[in-house]
Structure 1
Amino acid sequence: MTPVSARTTGTVRVVGTGLLGTSIGLGLSAIDVDVVLDDVSPSTLALAVDYGAGRRTGEADAPALVVVAVPPDVVAAVVAAELARYPDAFVTDVASVKAGPLSALEAVGAATERYVGSHPMAGRERSGPIAARADLFLGRPWVITPHAGSTAGQSAILEGLALDLGAIPVRLPADRHDDAVAIVSHAPQLVSSLLAARLVDAPDHATDLAGQGLRDTTRIAGSDPALWVQILSANAARVLPVLSDLRDDLDAVLEALADPAAPGAQRALADVLAAGNDGVARIPGKHGVDLRTTTLTVLIDDRPGQLARLLTEIGELGVNLEDMRLEHSPGAPIGIVEVSVLPEAAGGLEADLDRRGWRVA
């Protein structure tokens, strides 16, 4: 792999060594950033250190940046404690809800002028340091939520952190972030879980027929219930209207299915399905990619010739490109290329591109 110069300087303290915290530590350590770790669980901390995510925090450590990666219900308290413990440090958190922690910090008079929340839009169904990956954030949005008391320089620090980890920085106010994740993350989690719950009492001959469609729609139903109870509770006011609208749409479907021959019933079903087509077309990086292909995400530098070189090398490797999508975040020094190939070619292509120095997610 081509050596990468870190934008993040000084010591980074990561509080919480679960999936996100350990992944951040692994990614930063891989580019020689000094990472110190802390966790209320000694065994979880020891495991993250053993995996190479960083070293244990020492009394003499004076971090420049503190990243709080703890469960949502204790984020504000931990951020406040870190602001008080390290008066010269800049503090962020990576919780999936942003408005609540900021309000809580302001209510207790914490030093919010040294705090800006953030949220990497990445994760896995598995949790804990054993599931962590240094490339977890590659090509994923990393939302930064500046507020009235923060500075552009502080947001720039977090943009550097995101880019160091291969993510795409995006700035949004906390309220707009919480509105967005309600519809693209939190409501889908509940819908997936509700659908998967129908399988509990399903007969074996039904589940034996399950294909990729069911796996796709229920994949995130394997997520940690305890964590999601906290997330949904913290963003309940924004998730509720999304689910209410979904209930109304479902009621219309139920009415049509109750009498498919009734006037307008077929049209109602067609409208729902067509609206789904339109919605899928708005998801970045998907846009109706054929499920018979496999998509690899490759990060390329935003400079002349990089895309041409990537496509040329894929051709040199003897792989036929079935489809391609290029995305670029304004102001970001990297682009995201999604290449779709036949499934049997994907594994070899990923390994070959990695050996040639490309960053593949």
Structure 2
Amino acid sequence: MVKTTNVHGGNVHKASRLLHTSLDQILDFSANINPLGMSSKGLYAVKDALQDVIHYPDPDMTHLYSITSELWNMPKECIVFGNGAAELIYAICRLPQIEGVYVPAPGFSEYSHGAHSCGLPVIEYELQFNKESFRFAYPLETILHDLNQSKHRLVFIGNPNNPCGTIWKDRSDELFKVCQKNGHYLVFDESFIDFLGDAYSMRNYVKDYDSVIVVHSLTKFYAVPGLRIGAMLANPMISQFIKDHIPAWSVNHIAQIYSEEALQDVDYIKRTRTALKTEKEWLYKELMQMDSLQCIEPSVNYILCHLHEQYSLEDMIQNLYHQSILLRDCSQYTGLGPNWFRVAVKTRKQNQQLIQALQAYFRL
């Protein structure tokens, strides 16, 4: 049996070695990346910029700051770039006076890892699962109660949350006011927000509340996880602290050049959102037609599924793995448990291959 467990999914390099095949022969449904691939404008810019890697990256990132400041309607001094969202999450956990970290369950594992790297205790708040509607919701009342009774906490909120896709919909001021009063920080992880659009983002609250921090990945929507670039939006004091606690030249030259062009590739952005809407609806419908599965209706480019108890998730994952199809085992997430797994939304041809492989497995 091939051991496939991976903290994040997306380990196509390991799969390539174990399956003795090339990377392009692997269908990776374990990583949630834009199914259209890279922005063509960004890719052309990268090709032109390759010769410049003989120089150190621009530490000021002047052009990138100007572009994002305008796109996000955010002062430059409120923006920080890092080597992926994960580096910024770890740096946020080093903010002074923090006494504990609240993380969603289920939720992205790096919230807890970042907290533990700083010796901070982690308090998990479980999302509420409704069996009838088959979806997760944030326990706002529980969060408010806990924050009223404590001081100096980091509160991570996935918007949308990974792996269940729950969107943060509450816009009341009560939570923000509690955090301001008790010295808490609200950290909205918006790594997948570009798949939804600006209307779903919490970034405007950064300008209204010193307690609000937004983390933004540029690798999921723009399909460059191998380049590593993420952004953080916060008040200028927090932003300067974070800049002081991440290494110099954290964002390489190619990542900077690609992001400058991709962020302005309006056609690519529109085509991605149009294609995703069609494909996530198609894939969700096809998965739900299988009696052996129940699925969370997707908000972005991944679908959280539950396999009927009569089946072994490990056996199913292994079966597809040997067909060079990777799924994300979510059974170790707090708040989920056995037989939960996640699939990315990809192109129609790739999605059809996944459906055919699952149908064949269930006929065994």
TM-score normalised by the chain length of structure 2: 0.32
Which is greater in Rg? 1
TM-score normalised by the chain length of structure 1: 0.32
Give the structure with the higher percent helix.
1
Q: Which has the higher contact order (CA 8 A, sep 6+)?
A: 2
